[in-house]
C-alpha cells in the first residue's frame, strides 16, 4: 500500500470553475485560511476578468468585501488552467454539470463532459500526486470513473478523489459557507484516501466545528447531495400541491403551513407556497436521481421523485392559467408587469426561474409583458432574447407597472414590499389585478386600495 506523502503543495489550493459555487467557496477558504494560497481558474475569460474587477460576475450579499480583502493576497483568479494544476496539490473541481441535452439520458442524466475534460487536463498537467475534490454535484459513483481516468496516467502518479459537495444556497452563499449546517468529506477506504480526507477536513476546521465535519465513504457523500436537494424540492412541491387544494376549499396556505410547520417533527422551513422552485440545481439534481433509479431498475422510486418536478411545472402552469381566467379569459393586448425575474431574492441568477416560463406563456397569449428585477435584468434579456422585441425591459418598477392591467410578483425581493401600491394602483388600467406569486404583499391593504388580489393558496379578493 502507498504511504501518504506530505507535499510542499499541500497549502496550494486550486479551484477549477469560477461560477456561483467556485468563486464564493474559494473566497471564504482564502479568508479563513491565510496560510493557504487559493487560485480559481476558468476557461471563461470574461468571468475571470469580472472576478478581477470591481463588478464581480455574480451578486451575493457580503461577497464583494470578502473578495476585495483576499484578492491579490492569497486569492487569485486566472485563465491559466494548466499552470495552476501543475502548481497546486489540492484541486477542487466546481465546473457545471447540467442536464444532458443529447443522446442517451437526454433531459435527465447529468452531462459530465466538462467534468471529464477537467479530469483529463489534471492528468495531462500534473507532475506529482494530487488530491482531486468533487465540488460539483455529481451522480453517485462518478468518483469511480474519475479515479479510473486519473489513474490511467503513465507517470506513476497517485490521485486521491474526495467528494465534498457544496450545500450553499444562492442569495445566502457567504452566510452558508461561513456557518454551514455540515461539511461532507467522502473518501475512498484506502489509507491514502483517508489521509486526503483528513487534509480537506483540516482546511474546513479553520472555522467549522469538528463535529459538523462528516467523514463518510465517497458514495454516501455523492448521494447525500442529490438527496438533500431532492428533499428540499419535495417540500416545496408538497406545500405547492396543498396550495391548489386551499384555493378550492377556502383554507389559507400560510395558516396551514404555520400549523403544520410548528410540529417539531416537520419544522417550519421550506414550507412557503409560491409560483414554483427554480435555480440551476433542484430540477437537474432530481432528474439525475430519477435517471439513476431507472438505471438501477428502481422504477417506483424513479416515479416517486419525478412527481416533484411534475408538481413544480403544474404550479407554474396553474399560475398563468389563473391569471388568464381571472382577467376575463383573455390577456391578449393587455399589459402585464412582472416584478422579479430571478429564481429567488438576493441573486441575479435566473437559471430555471419560473419567470421564464410565465413570461413566455403570457407573450404566447399575446399579452404585452413588461419586466423589472433589481439584479437580474441582463440575465432576463438573455433568457428571452428570441422574443425580446415583444417585451419591455423596464428601468424601474414605476416604468414597469405604468398603464398595466395586472402586476405579478415572481420573486420575493424585499423591496417589492416597500413600494407605494396606492401610486401603482393609480397608474394602472382598471380593474387592476395583482397576482402575488410569492405571498409577500399585504393583501388586505391592497384590496382596500382597490386591487383585485390573487395570492397563492388563498381565496381571491375581488373588488370588481
Contact residues toward ligand NAD (CB under 6 A) are 16-22, 41-44, 47, 81, 94-97, 114, 117-118, 136-137, 166, 168, 170, 280-281
Residue with Cβ nearer ligand NAD (163 or 280): 280
Minimum CB distance to ligand NAD smaller for 226 or for 391: 226
Task: Report d(CA 315, CA 206) in Å as an integer.
Answer: 43
Based on CB atoms, which residue is closest to ligand NAD, 48 or 242? Answer: 48
Closer to ligand NAD at the Cβ: 115 or 451? 115
Distance separating alpha carbons of residues 464 and 452, to the nearest angstrom: 7
- The SS3 call for residue 288 is helix
Provide, rounded to whole angstroms, the least separation between the CB of residue 81 and ligand NAD: 5
Contacts of 198 (CB under 8 A, 6+ apart): none
Distance from the first to the final alpha carbon of the chain: 79
* Closest residue by Cα to residue 60 from 19, 95, 92, 31: 19
Q: Least separation, in Å, of the C-beta of 373 and ligand NAD?
A: 18
CB of 342 to ligand NAD, least distance (A): 12
User: Could you say which of 15, 33, 246, 281 is catalytic?
Assistant: 281
Closer of 20 and 277 to ligand NAD (Cβ): 20
Closest CB 284 distance from ligand NAD, rounded Å: 7
Provide the minimum distance between the beta carbon of 17 and ligand NAD in the complex, in angstroms, as a whole number: 3
Q: How far apart are CA 109 and CA 139, in angstroms?
A: 8
Alpha helices in 299-388 (DSSP H): 299-326, 354-364, 377-383
| Closest-approach residue to ligand NAD (CB) | 19
Q: Is 281 designated active site?
A: yes
Provide the total of helices (H) and of strands (E) in the chain, helices listed first. 17, 14
CA distances from residue 250 to 383, 458, 460 in whole angstroms, order as listed:
36, 7, 9
Residues 6+ apart with CB under 8 A from 380: 341, 350, 355, 371, 373, 393
Active site residues: 281
Amino acid at each position: 500500500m502507498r504511504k501518504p506523502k506530505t507535499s510542499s503543495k499541500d497549502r496550494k489550493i486550486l479551484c477549477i470553475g469560477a461560477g456561483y459555487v467556485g468563486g464564493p467557496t474559494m473566497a471564504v477558504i482564502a479568508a479563513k485560511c491565510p496560510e493557504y494560497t487559493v487560485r480559481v481558474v476558468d476557461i471563461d475569460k470574461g468571468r475571470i476578468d469580472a472576478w478581477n474587477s470591481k463588478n464581480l460576475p455574480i451578486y451575493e450579499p457580503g461577497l464583494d468585501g470578502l473578495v476585495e480583502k483576499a484578492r491579490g493576497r492569497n486569492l487569485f483568479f486566472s485563465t491559466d488552467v494548466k499552470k495552476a494544476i501543475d502548481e497546486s496539490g489540492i484541486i477542487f473541481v466546481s465546473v457545471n454539470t447540467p442536464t444532458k441535452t443529447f443522446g442517451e439520458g437526454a433531459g435527465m442524466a447529468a452531462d459530465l463532459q466538462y467534468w471529464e475534460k477537467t479530469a483529463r487536463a489534471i492528468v495531462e498537467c500534473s507532475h506529482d500526486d494530487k488530491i482531486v475534490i468533487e465540488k460539483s454535484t455529481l451522480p453517485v459513483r462518478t468518483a469511480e470513473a474519475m479515479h479510473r481516468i486519473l489513474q490511467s496516467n503513465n507517470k506513476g502518479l497517485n490521485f486521491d478523489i474526495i467528494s465534498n459537495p457544496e450545500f450553499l444556497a444562492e442569495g445566502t452563499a457567504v452566510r452558508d459557507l461561513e456557518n454551514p449546517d455540515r461539511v461532507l468529506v467522502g473518501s475512498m477506504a484506502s489509507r491514502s484516501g483517508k489521509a486526503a480526507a483528513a487534509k480537506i477536513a483540516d482546511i474546513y476546521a479553520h472555522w467549522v466545528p469538528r463535529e459538523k465535519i462528516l467523514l463518510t465513504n465517497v458514495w454516501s457523500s455523492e448521494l447525500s447531495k442529490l438527496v438533500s436537494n431532492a428533499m428540499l424540492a419535495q417540500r416545496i412541491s408538497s406545500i405547492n400541491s396543498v396550495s391548489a387544494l386551499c384555493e378550492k376549499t377556502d383554507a389559507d396556505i400560510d395558516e396551514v403551513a404555520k400549523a403544520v410547520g410548528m410540529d417539531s417533527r416537520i419544522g417550519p422551513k421550506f414550507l412557503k407556497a409560491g409560483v414554483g422552485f427554480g435555480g440551476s440545481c433542484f430540477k437537474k439534481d432530481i432528474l439525475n436521481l430519477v435517471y439513476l433509479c431507472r438505471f438501477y431498475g428502481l422504477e417506483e422510486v424513479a416515479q416517486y421523485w419525478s412527481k416533484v418536478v411534475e408538481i413544480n411545472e403544474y404550479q407554474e402552469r396553474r399560475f398563468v392559467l389563473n391569471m388568464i381566467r381571472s382577467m376575463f379569459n383573455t390577456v391578449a393586448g393587455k399589459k402585464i408587469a412582472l416584478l422579479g425575474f430571478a429564481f429567488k431574492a438576493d441573486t441575479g441568477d435566473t437559471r430555471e426561474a419560473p419567470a421564464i416560463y410565465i413570461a413566455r406563456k403570457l407573450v404566447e397569449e399575446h399579452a404585452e409583458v413588461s419586466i423589472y428585477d433589481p439584479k437580474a435584468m441582463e440575465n432576463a434579456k438573455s433568457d428571452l432574447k428570441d422574443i425580446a422585441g415583444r417585451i419591455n425591459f423596464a428601468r424601474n418598477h414605476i416604468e414597469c407597472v405604468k398603464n398595466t392591467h395586472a402586476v405579478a410578483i415572481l420573486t420575493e425581493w424585499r423591496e417589492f414590499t416597500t413600494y407605494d401600491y396606492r401610486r401603482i394602483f393609480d397608474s394602472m388600467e382598471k380593474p387592476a389585478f395583482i397576482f402575488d406569486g410569492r405571498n409577500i404583499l399585504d393583501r388586505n391593504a391592497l384590496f382596500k386600495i382597490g386591487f383585485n388580489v390573487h395570492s397563492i393558496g388563498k381565496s381571491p379578493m375581488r373588488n370588481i
